[in-house]
Each structure stands twice: as C-alpha cells, then as structure tokens.
Amino acid sequence: MEQLMADLKKQIIEQLNLQEVTPESIGNDEPLFKEGLGLDSIDALELIVLLQQHYNIRIANPEQGPEIFYSIRSMAEFIVAQQTAKA
C-alpha cells in the first residue's frame, strides 16, 4: 500500500503537470480536489485515464470520481479492491 501510494503521487504529478509539487509534499489523506492540491473536474477525467493506463481499471461513470479520488489513500484502496476483485 505504501509503495502504491508513492507510485500514485509520482504518476499524478506527471499526468497533471503539477509544477512545483513534489511527491513528499502530498499527504496520503490530504484532499486532492478543491483545497489541498486544488484539482478540478478536468483533472478528475485525467485521473480516470491514469487508472486505465497504469492499473487497467475502467471507470465508466465520472460521478464516481469524487469518492475514489478523494485522497491518495482512497485511490490506493480503490485500486487494491479492484485488483483483488479481478483476482
């Protein structure tokens, strides 16, 4: 889980071109949207593609976004749950 969260931070910074943000500066439980990193609805769509590219997970309904992408930890937990379900 720790490794997954560390990977996610790097992937998010790259995908969203977050200049002047380091992986260390993102807290595992910090909200990603609005406050915290200040991401918006377009970023949510970018993150949906990120999950597809890196983890082969498809999200068909963008309305699930806010829950899954609440924080790094919620994203990681979602990925683990999806991978477990598949296995």
Give the binding site for other proteins (CB under 8 A). 15-20, 38, 40-42, 45-46, 48-49, 52-53, 62
For other proteins, the closer of residues 2 and 42 by Cβ is: 42
Q: Which tokens in the block code for residue 25? A: 């500066």
CA distances from 78 to 6, 14, 20, 48, 84 (A): 15, 20, 27, 12, 10
- Three-state secondary structure call for residue 40: coil
In angstroms, give the least distance from the CB of 48 to other proteins.
8
For other proteins, the closer of residues 15 and 74 by Cβ is: 15
